[in-house]
Amino acid sequence: MAGPPRLTPQHPDPLPAGSTTGGRATIIDVAAAAGVSRQTVTRAMNGMSGISAATKERVLAAAERLDYRPSRFGRGLVTGGDHQLGLVVNDLRNPYTPQLASAVFRLAAEQGWNVMLADVDLASDADRMVQALGSQTDVVIGYLGSRRDRWRELLGTVPMVELDPYSEPPTAAVWIDPADAVEVLADHLVATGVRHPVVLDNSSPEHTSVRGILMMDALQRRGYLPELVHAEHGTAECGAEETTRILERRRRQDAILAFNDVMALGVLQACRRAGVDVPRDVRVVGVDGLPLGSLVSPTLSTLAVDLDEVAREALDLALGMLAGELPRQGDAVQRTVRHRLLLRESA
């Protein structure tokens, strides 16, 4: 997907008299600042032929100084007046991702929005994809991770709503918080007589995940000495491989708390192959609350999150920012969706 030209001004001359000093710049402002026609601005911003390289450079420099963002309607990128939502996700091969995307698409359709999807983990050039997404949408929501600051710069004036940020975000955000559910789960393990729990985390030994830290802390405060196992990938295959190693140690582990439901399915598979009864010998719990957890045997206990609620909060923030009813950063544009313990047969 080709993105718009990167605005890298080479001519830091002051703006000419009479140019816009407040509000959103228009194509007329850019044309006046660069001393060209509106048609020339359109050609420069869209990478069209018919103008010299020097003229194109002058137009892009003026657009950068004015913080001008071309109208996507004028560029013919959409038809009609529907809002365009950009959704950034990580790896559609993970069942969690299409489940989230489905919730966003469904709720966006109810609001009359169109949705454009970018899977940045599978993209050959994630930066280019995000930049192109920003040029074609009114607002971008999704998982930004450690690339948040770089992508924020690429998106420019496009509002962002970050999902489950890894640290305090500079923009709007929806936190997905398992802390309360982890506490309820820890109490349940105590009540059911668990003595030797294992936390199976998707992380490196140097960087335990937030979920892993919460689980370890909750268990330790209740007198447990839990084992922490780091798995490189959050997949069912990796969950099964690590569980096989755990079971081969012949220790007395009687509960495995997995980073997510997909890994927990791998745990169930490894236990079945090893002849370990779930939940009599080992209780198994995942995180996310994916519907597929109800289709296996034993059915999977999990810390479930309502992805419809996540999508609803994100879209509400996006609408509020676009309407000018909400700021684009600060506590007013941060929401929290909490997990809940969903007990099924595996625990």
Question: Above pLDDT 70, what percent of the chain?
Answer: 88
pLDDT over threshold 60, residue 78: no
Q: What is the pLDDT of residue 152?
A: 87
How do strand 301-304 and strand 340-342 relate by DSSP bridges?
antiparallel
| The two structure tokens encoding residue 200 | 């199976």
Range 63-89 average pLDDT: 68
Mean pLDDT score of the chain: 87
pLDDT, tens digit (0-9, with 9 covering 90-100), for 90-134: 989 999 999 999 999 999 999 888 999 999 988 889 999 998 888
pLDDT over threshold 80, residue 20: no
pLDDT over threshold 50, residue 16: no
Of the spans 36-40, 90-94, 195-199, which averages the highest pLDDT? 195-199
What secondary structure does DSSP assign to 68-108, as a single string? ----TTTTTSSSSS--EEEEEES-TTSTHHHHHHHHHHHHH
Q: How confident is the model at residue 80 (pLDDT cuts 50, 70, 90)?
A: very low
Of the spans 76-90, 125-139, 262-276, which averages the highest pLDDT? 262-276
Are 87 and 101 in contact, with CB atoms under 8 Å apart? yes
End-to-end CA distance of the chain: 46
Entry pTM: 0.76
Query: Which has the closest alpha carbon to 115: 63, 78, 144?
Result: 78
Judge residue 221's burial from the number of C-beta atoms within 10 Å of its C-beta, 0-12 exposed, 13-18 middle, 19 or more buried: exposed
Report how far residue 204's alpha carbon sits from residue 187's, in angstroms, rounded to the nearest whole number: 27
Q: Which range among 65-69, 197-201, 223-227 shows the weakest confidence by mean pLDDT?
A: 65-69
Helix (H) or strand (E) holding 29: helix 27-34
Q: What is the pLDDT of residue 77?
A: 42
Q: Which range among 41-50, 87-96, 268-277, 303-312 shows the weakest confidence by mean pLDDT?
A: 41-50
pLDDT over threshold 50, residue 75: no
Report how far residue 257's alpha carbon sits from residue 196's, in angstroms, rounded to the nearest whole number: 11
Compute φ and ψ for 89, nearest 5 degrees.
-130, 165
Q: What is the pLDDT of residue 48?
A: 66
Report how far residue 311's alpha carbon sits from residue 314's, in angstroms, rounded to the nearest whole number: 5
Q: What is the pLDDT of residue 24?
A: 63
Q: What is the pLDDT of residue 187?
A: 98
Secondary structure of residue 121 in the 3-state scheme: coil
Partners of residue 223 on adjacent β-strands? none
pLDDT over threshold 60, residue 232: yes
Go through 37-47 and write b for each residue having 16 or more CB atoms within 10 A of its CB, e for each that does not. eeebbbbbbee
pLDDT, tens digit (0-9, with 9 covering 90-100), for 299-331: 999 999 999 999 999 999 988 888 778 887 777
Q: How confident is the model at residue 7 (pLDDT cuts 50, 70, 90)?
A: very low
Range 175-189 average pLDDT: 97
Helix (H) or strand (E) holding 141: strand 139-142
Go through 296-321 and write b for each residue having 16 or more CB atoms within 10 A of its CB, e for each that does not. bebbbbbbbbbbbbbbbbbbbbbbbb
Q: Which range among 19-28, 148-157, 219-228 shows the weakest confidence by mean pLDDT?
A: 19-28
Q: How confident is the model at residue 71 (pLDDT cuts 50, 70, 90)?
A: low
Judge residue 286's burial from the number of C-beta atoms within 10 Å of its C-beta, 0-12 exposed, 13-18 middle, 19 or more buried: buried
Go through 161-200 and write b for each residue having 16 or more CB atoms within 10 A of its CB, e for each that does not. bbbbbeeebebbbbbbbbeebbbebbebbeeeebeebbbb
